Amino acid sequence: MRLLDEITAIRGIGGKTAQIFGRAGIVTVEDLLQYFPRSYEECGPPVPIASLSGTKTAVVCGTLCSEPKVRRAGKIQIVETAIRDESGSLRVSWFNMPYLRNSLQTGQRYILKGKVEANRFGLTLEQPVLYTPDRYAPLVGRLQPVYSLTAGMTLRMVGKAVKEALDSLPELPEYLPERFRRAYQLAEYNYALRTIHFPPDKTELTFARKRLVFDEFFLFILAVRYLRDANKEQPNGCRIRAAKEVEDFLARLPFALTGAQRRAYEEILADLTGPKRMNRLVQGDVGSGKTIVALAALLQMAHNGWQGVLMAPTEVLARQHFETVTGYLRRENLPFHTELLTGAMTAKEKREALERIVSHKADIIVGTHAVIQEKVRFARLGLVITDEQHRFGVRQREILSEKGEESADTSPHVLVMSATPIPRTLAIILYGDLDISVIDEKPANRLPIKNCVIGAGRRKKAYEFIVNEVKSGRQAYVICPMVEDGGRIEGENVRDYAARLAEELPPAIVIGTLHGRMKPAEKTRIMEDFSQGRIQVLVSTTVVEVGVDVPNATVMMVENAERFGLAQLHQLRGRIGRGEHQSYCIFINGSDAEKNRRLEILNRSNDGFAIAAEDLKLRGPGDLFGLRQSGLLDFALGDIYTDAGILREASQAADALLAEDYALEKEEHKPLKRRLMRYREEKLERLSL
């Protein structure tokens, strides 16, 4: 078996299982091995049933004392039985595993590990993992890997497949030069890979993890350095002269730019008019006003006869930017044409848009990924802006900057915008190929958002509050973690929630729903209705997370807030407090833990940088079990905040390596070179920053 074989090469994995894994993005043996555990659970010794109380994970050992029965609840099949030990008995249930009825044996001793839930029947052990005492004994005290699961996957399935793969693969080549391993105390690769999946204890896990995090950062940094060197010192082929009209435009805005916005704009303008091509990141917290800075840059280009692109990661945001841009142009009577280009448009609409782009009827093009597709040809592309860069891959940025070369023989300026709060020192490492402008100031007219964290028990009060806000003309978001009933996965879902909410709120209040599984046209309609005030309360998933701007919305209520990463919650909160009205953020803590320390951080601060720093303090470097900072920085294992030390080491190592053997031509660097080439092909594209 080889790393790049499909997983059906693994003993015990047939077509059906491969299909299930495929849905989680696992196609090759390598994908599987890189499917690192999300966290680990310690297997404790069983506890007496009588000692159990409500809602927590527990291990019990006893005899199955009731014939398993299958019950249906809607689409879900539930297997129910009970287990008894010397101290008492406990109900047990599994969802959607009807085959257990035949494999479970009444009278047999089992060890069950699962979550105890209190409901109207008393305590129930839900969805426990099942062991025979013989199989459990050697596990006590060990760390069990917990993987992210998609439909059809089980922990055991993943664990077994990984073990089988590790056992039958030949030794994998160690591609890190020995001297780096020694200098930074990095474990050997094969050992690290096995240990991250099956750690004997925490010390070894920490050691293994460090190696793999280092690899991840090291490969990334190397790839970005090469990218930078390829871009560096490129002459400015779309050099412009500052158009005075843009100053006039800015002067006529209903607000004055903040000092930070002005600075960022001037740095951009210096690039556009200077001798070298722009490669710049604008970093600014949610609500700091990045869009207008982008628009000013687009207008500068347009006045100089160049086309510009503004690319957004979602349909909803692209459309909103389109409206914003056309709105400004119309109001100011500017002679430029803005074109929208998204995947959801009909073939005919697209064809016509493409025609206007290639013929230079369109000056400003706003769109989603559709903009970087091959078919799109520009007449004279001079500037490419990506908004919410962390949602795009590094490679996508590259593709766009290559677009210009087809028309003019020069690449366009590149501007990327991000709200990810990364300290400058880390940003320089991560965005090594970019210059950085920071917008570290918010518009002055804003009232700070008022926050609160409450338990689900006080939800009714929150509804009353929302009703009052709506009565005074404002609007509200309610965010749920899921689209529909997740079966065994608990948490509020948009569909059921909206139906329940309709019963709770006065009938005059219009409630809308929004989620990623809707058709694009429907999403657009809902978003439009919300932004026009025809919908007052929008129950949504995190599709509204990035960039959405409805200044009249003043309430953000997040259900199961404990489920989200801090950065993500901060982004969600960024949807409110965007206008003159006082805004309120309500985090519902749906977990049993009374106080959630992470949510308390958000409760205390509205500043993205401060939140990231506090969170870091809370978790500490090398925290193995903490929730990662959402998917914002998309490394599989590494967390740029808690692993900042490793990030710096990897950066040092990359510098040393490139200084010594830039082209990686030395014999000892050959394996690394091969690894890096594969990485650039496969990973860089998917990795977003």
The reply to whether 261 sits near ligand ADP by the rule CB under 6 A is yes
The reply to whether 577 sits near Mg ion by the rule CB under 5 A is no
Token pair recorded at residue 191: 């050992």
The reply to whether 607 sits near ligand ADP by the rule CB under 6 A is no
589 binds, options ligand ADP, Mg ion, none, Cβ within 5 to 8 A by partner type: none
203 binds, options ligand ADP, Mg ion, none, Cβ within 5 to 8 A by partner type: none
Judged by CB under 5 A, the residue of 145, 313, 547, 577 near Mg ion is 547
Site string for ligand ADP, 443-482 (x = CB under 6 A): x-x-------------------------------------
Contact 572, 556 (CB under 8 A): yes
Nearest distance from C-beta of residue 343 to ligand ADP, angstroms? 22
Side-chain-side CA neighbours of residue 637 (13 Å)? 27
Nearest distance from C-beta of residue 371 to ligand ADP, angstroms? 19
What is the CA 137 to chain-centroid distance, rounded?
Answer: 38
Pick from 40, 49, 57, 13: which is nearest to 162 by CA? 13
Cα gap 457→328, rounded to integer Å? 45
Contact 124, 90 (CB under 8 A): yes
The reply to whether 481 sits near Mg ion by the rule CB under 5 A is no
Residue whose CB is less far from Mg ion, 367 or 547 = 547
The reply to whether 313 sits near Mg ion by the rule CB under 5 A is no
Residue whose CB is less far from ligand ADP, 289 or 481 = 289
Residues numbered 395-454 forming contacts with ligand ADP, rule: CB under 6 A: 443, 445
Contact 213, 643 (CB under 8 A): yes
CB-based contacts of 13: which residues, under 8 Å, 6+ apart? Answer: 7, 21, 161, 164
Nearest distance from C-beta of residue 332 to ligand ADP, angstroms? 14
Residues numbered 575-594 forming contacts with ligand ADP, rule: CB under 6 A: 578
3-class SS at 40? strand
The reply to whether 272 sits near ligand ADP by the rule CB under 6 A is no
What is the CA 558 to chain-centroid distance, rounded?
Answer: 17
| Interface segment toward ligand ADP; rule CB under 6 A; list 38-46, 129-137, 284-292, 581-589 | 284-292
DSSP codes of every residue in 545-570: TTT---TTEEEEEETTGGGS-HHHHH
512 binds, options ligand ADP, Mg ion, none, Cβ within 5 to 8 A by partner type: none
Q: What is the dihedral of CA 398, 403, 404, 408, to 10 degrees?
A: 140
Token look-up 């493409």 returns 354
Cα gap 520→314, rounded to integer Å? 10
Cα gap 215→426, rounded to integer Å? 17
- Four-residue CA torsion sign, 666, 667, 668, 673: positive
Residue whose CB is less far from ligand ADP, 292 or 416 = 292
287 binds, options ligand ADP, Mg ion, none, Cβ within 5 to 8 A by partner type: ligand ADP
- Four-residue CA torsion sign, 604, 606, 608, 609: negative
Residue whose CB is less far from Mg ion, 85 or 285 = 285
Nearest distance from C-beta of residue 296 to ligand ADP, angstroms? 11
CB-based contacts of 474: which residues, under 8 Å, 6+ apart? Answer: 552, 553, 554, 555, 581
Residue whose CB is less far from ligand ADP, 287 or 412 = 287
Judged by CB under 6 A, the residue of 34, 127, 279, 288 near ligand ADP is 288
Residue whose CB is less far from ligand ADP, 446 or 673 = 446
Nearest distance from C-beta of residue 575 to ligand ADP, angstroms? 9
Residue whose CB is less far from Mg ion, 114 or 287 = 287
Cα gap 498→478, rounded to integer Å? 9
Nearest distance from C-beta of residue 291 to Mg ion, angstroms? 5
The reply to whether 544 sits near ligand ADP by the rule CB under 6 A is no
Residue whose CB is less far from ligand ADP, 331 or 460 = 331
Judged by CB under 6 A, the residue of 24, 250, 257, 453 near ligand ADP is 257
Residues near ligand ADP (CB under 6 A), total: 19
Judged by CB under 6 A, the residue of 287, 382, 412, 577 near ligand ADP is 287
Contact 480, 496 (CB under 8 A): no
CA distances from 633 to 193, 224, 601, 636 (A): 22, 15, 20, 9
| Interface segment toward ligand ADP; rule CB under 6 A; list 211-219, 252-260, 406-414, 447-455 | 252-260
The reply to whether 552 sits near ligand ADP by the rule CB under 6 A is no
Q: Is 86 exposed, middle or buried (0-12, 13-18, 19+ CB in 10 A)?
A: exposed
Q: In the bound complex, which residue of the shown chain has the CB atom lying closest to ligand ADP?
A: 289
| Interface segment toward ligand ADP; rule CB under 6 A; list 21-29, 229-237, 280-288, 531-539 | 280-288
Nearest distance from C-beta of residue 608 to ligand ADP, angstroms? 10
Judged by CB under 6 A, the residue of 258, 389, 411, 542 near ligand ADP is 258
Cα gap 430→166, rounded to integer Å? 32
Pick from 322, 334, 296, 335: which is nearest to 415 by CA? 296
Binding site for Mg ion (CB under 5 A): 547
Binding site for ligand ADP (CB under 6 A): 255, 257-258, 261, 284, 286-292, 443, 445, 547, 549, 551, 574, 578
